Structure 1
Amino acid sequence: MLPIISGEQVKHLDQQYISAEGISSLDLMERAANAFVAWFTTTINPNIKQVYIFAGPGNNGGDGVAIARLLQERYYNVHLFYLQEVADCSADFKANYSRLPDKVLVTKFNEWNGIIAEHSVIIDGVFGVGINRPIEGVFQRLIQILNKATALKIAIDIPSGLPADQIAFGTVFRADHTVSFQFPKLSLLFPEHASFIGELHIMDIGISEETMDAFQVGRFYLRAKDIPSLHRSFHRFSHKGDYGKVLIIGGAKGKTGAINLSAHAALRTDSGLVHLAPYLEDPYLIQPIISELMLFQDDSKQNLNNFDAIAIGPGWGMGVDIAYYQSILARFQKPIVIDADGLNLLAANPDLIHKIPKNSVLTPHLKEFERLVGKSKDHLERMEKAKNFAIANGLILVLKGAHTLVTLPDGRQIFNSSGNQYMATAGSGDVLTGMIASFLGQGYSPEHAALCGVYHHGLAGELASKSKWRGMIASDIIEAIPRTFLELGIK
């Protein structure tokens, strides 16, 4: 997994890598510029040829100047604007400035007429990760002008004005795309910053994870390449018992669709046997959505240890007898998955939290999390509360949303890279619950079950949305689950 390095450590990381590799800072900047241009030329509409690049005086501006040269070499019409006398800019900025071909149109910002041609691209290279105060003066005026422009907007590494590790505190460039180098900066993962970042793209510039590990602070970014090693292997002699026996508890009257979705998702994630235990007076009145699902009538006295994994909460309702909830926690001592009303009941009855088996996986969305631990002023505070909650209770907390955050009992926090906005649909969370329960039932460690569940869930949403777009529903995500294993090369 990619370590997420603090903004103040990025310079030290670069220096250590440069020294270890025997290259110059200019060489590393050239790698970044080439990575950006490779992304640009394969992603942006090739019919857009007019590019406006705005370069600040530091190394983010130096990236912009190098990108100007490389794009011009690929026959783009490039207009470069610099904001400070070149003599006062960073050494690498000046070195790249001296390499500019004559065909790049260069203008000092205070001499610009303010015109942006239609169907063009704006590239922001004004400020990088080092900013620690609100931008002002000519820089603020420029960002305000660019934010009003109708062109496609792209930020180099981080939108100008956005601090690397904190919540935004002033004027910030509003990008349609942010192309960040080597790892995502922490603030690029905050929901408060969605309108500044647009689509996030992480480009590898060759710094090894081993080098980055020396600077890690317990925050990581989960990618597709990290997933295969987390999976268990099965063989041709494996039978359905090896793939786990899973129980989904929930589904009060009028809400049985939730446990159906969870159970169906568990089957599609490769569970061998899946049972439903609806919270109904006569549980056999429920109609399973697929024939492979079985029913289980739980009466608070039965032995649950015949199951390999249990998930509780989807569609459960708030009318559940707390003594029954307690009985589940007492009768099943292995890690469980708790979602939806299972979480809301914990918030209303906090003494239950201490009875949850250690390393269980809780999967709240933002509101459910707020009910559990109280309100947070921003995502940074929310992350800290998640960390404290996980450590104090020995639990895994999966905070759902864009870049779903998995917080482990040892305090590590892992952001997910898969998924998209089309997954914001009823039942999507129930699907995730079933997937994590499935991996638990197959014998995965709770940590690996949570990480595999979160990544495969997001990837299934991406795959399903390619044909469904805004019309995607939770059932579409379930049907795409098998394809996620194919995409990741997992047999």
Structure 2
Amino acid sequence: MHLYTAEQLKRVDAHTVQVQNMSTLALMERAAKAFTEALIQQFSATKPVFAIICGKGNNGGDGLAIARLLHQQKYKVQVYLLEAPQYTADNFQNQKRLSDHNIAIHFFSKEDHLMLPADAVVLDGLFGYGLRQVLDDSWQALIQQINKAACILAIDLPSGLMADVHTPDTAPVVQAHYTLTFQVPKLALLQPENQDKVGLLQILNLQLDDTCFAPEVFHMHYIEEALVQRIRKPRKPYTHKGTYGHSLLIGGSYGKVGAVLLSGKAALRSGCGLVSLYTPKCAYAIVQNAFPEAMVRTDEQTQYISSFPDDIAQLQAIGIGMGLGQEKETELAFLEWLAAAKEELPPLVIDADGLNILATHKEYLKLLPAQTILTPHPKELQRLIGTWEHDFEKLQKCKAFAQAHQLIVLIKGAHTVVVLPDGQLYFNSTGNAGMATGGSGDVLSGMLTALRAQGYTATEAAIMGVWLHGRAGDLAALDLSMESLIAGDIIAYLPKAFLSLTSKTQK
């Protein structure tokens, strides 16, 4: 799924109206029906009063149409419409339709005190993606009144939130508990800084037509199951373990053996034919007992890695850094290995202390093979690209870093972003807050290494890996709860994540 800027979405709306031979009012009705159906599905048991707060534009027109549709379904509605010298044509038409159904409209100014029912579910339709500038302080009192409601649903976008750029923390913005957005998520809805404004996000498909743009125009995408289905390579019957690659995971140190162990298990559960671990001697018995399917090679040191293997020609991918530690000998060994082996390195995935070492020796980044995948958590990312004022700046700095070094960088978190060297951004649709637990990133690194070893391109591996990682986490959370989820559970539910793809492919 492509993600649109506000300007692109405006053109997509206009193109849809033209090619589907419909009016803009009919498209607004389609959006209102989709929103109303989602509302009824959520609130059919409680039948609350809905207070719909509408602005003068098309977002307000959506709200007016939703009010009428709810009324027709026997829900109680109270409609509040911002006074304005002029309304958009479709907004005005929906005012007339409310009048035809004898639904009262309460006009208000931004200085008024709204008498909202205490138990009402508030639908926010003041401003949508067409907002061109940040709201000034004169809107603060009105927005604060809305934010006092016990339950707020934003129509497409919380009012006051800019769709494509950073919205200052001090700006008046509705803090929705749910946002039901039309067709595609807007960029602002996917940024961590806006989580308290967006709440839970749901996407409503309006069958918009974006063929007015050439595909290469879009540089932002949303990773959905259909994309992963297209990437996935079904297994052929006449194959063997060598067909699916040999991956090596280098990591572990005294007290941190679990990290590389999780990576290894995740790699094997992600389809890799052979998995080897390279660890300090202290990990040997642990790994052999806990993970008999893996092959283990050990460093000469007991508690940390002091050298890196040089016989790597038969490997299809290497993952580095999970639990590695930052002993001086480890650091020097890693850097010397990169310099010595740069011409024969297979695809790499670098995580954790591998990234921390590179962050203090950035001149070695040029030795990494093109399309190496980096998987930093926020602090590790900061060490690589520097600090940022807000999430939009973080995206831009990460894009510049990926382009400068020809690397793929993952910005891990809710809606993990895959940042490609050509500037393309892929936002993940799976995952949950239960995955914010130690070892979750180690699991992802093992999965990515396994996918690279199986012959997936770096882009394919990154897209497929983050989606499957999140999907396994979602399946685990359904059975175990987010609170009880641990990294090993993500590995345990990888088979179900793959099965969800396989069963649909077979159908």
TM-score (norm 2): 0.91
Query: SS of the residue aligned with 1:241?
Result: helix
Distance 1:403 1:209 in 2: 23
* SS in structure 2 at match of 1:266: helix
**Conserved? CA contact 2:252–2:283, under 8 Å:** no
**Which residue does the alignment assign to 1:176?**
177
Of residues 391, 403, 409, the one that matches 2:403 is 391
List alignment gaps of at least 5 residues for structure 2: 300-306
Tell whether 2:243 aligns with 1:245. Answer: no
What is the aligned counterpart of 2:444 among 432, 437, 442? Answer: 432
CA distance in 1, matches of 2:53, 2:77: 11
**What do residues 203-255 of structure 1 show as CA deviations (whole Å, max 9, x unaligned)?**
11111353455694411111112111011121222211112211110101110
Give yes or no for the alignment of 1:375 onto 2:387. yes
Q: CA deviation at 1:328?
A: 4.2
1:119 shift after superposition: 4.2
Distance 1:438 1:287 in 2: 18
Contact 2:15 2:209 in 1 (8 A): no
Give the aligned partner of residue 406 of structure 1. Answer: 418
**Aligned AA (2:321):** G
Shift of 1:129: 1.1
1:224 equivalent in structure 2: 225
Using a 3 Å threshold, how does the CA distance of structure 1 residues 339 and 215 change in structure 2: closer, same or farther? Answer: closer
Match of 1:129 in 2: 129
The residue number in structure 2 matching 1:314 is 322
Q: Report Cα offsets for 1:30-62 as digits up to 9, x if no partner.
A: 111111112222234531331110000000000
Query: Is residue 301–residue 327 contact of structure 1 (8 Å, CA) maintained in 2?
Result: no
User: 1:468 maps to what in 2?
Assistant: 480
Correspondence for 2:156: 157
CA-to-aligned-CA distance 1:58-100 (integer Å, 9 cap, x gap): 0000000111111112221111110125x72110001112122
Q: Report what 2:365 is aligned to.
A: 353
Deviations 1:292-332 (A, max 9, x none): 12212365353112121110000001115334213543435
> Which residue in 1 is equivalent to 2:28?
29
Paired position in structure 1 for 2:73: 74
Aligned to 1:107: 106
RMSD: 2.1
Secondary structure in structure 2 of the residue aligned to 1:166:
coil
Change (3 A) 1:364 1:90: same
Q: Distance in 2 between matches of 1:477 and 1:435?
A: 11
Inter-partner Cα distance in structure 1 for 2:115 and 2:369: 63
Q: How does 1:34-45 map to 2 (within 5 A)?
A: 34-44=33-43
- Give the aligned residue type for 2:2: P
Instruction: Indicate if the aligned counterparts of 2:16 and 2:210 stay in contact, CA closer than 8 A.
Output: no
Cα distance change, pair 38–285 in 1 and its aligned pair in 2 (3 A): same
- Partner SS, residue 364 of structure 1: coil
Instruction: Tell me the equivalent position of 1:268.
Output: 269
Q: State percent identity of aligned pairs.
A: 39
Q: 1:194 to 1:282 in 2, by over 3 A?
A: closer
* Cα distance change of structure 1 residues 209 and 328 upon mapping to structure 2, 3 Å threshold: farther
- Does the CA-based 8 Å contact 1:431-1:474 persist in structure 2? yes
Give, as a single letter, the amino acid of the residue that structure 2 aligns with 1:225. Answer: A
Q: Paired residue for 2:294? A: 293
Preserved contact between residue 376 and residue 410 of structure 2 (Cα < 8 Å): yes
**Aligned residues of 1:13 and 1:215 also touching (Cα < 8 A):** no
Aligned partner of residue 248 in structure 1, secondary structure: strand
Aligned to 2:92: 94
Runs of 5+ unmatched residues, structure 1: none
With the length of structure 1 as denominator, give the TM-score of the two structures: 0.94
Letter in 1 for 2:489: D
What residue is the counterpart of 1:117 in the other structure? 117
> Quick check: 1:148 aligned with 2:148?
yes
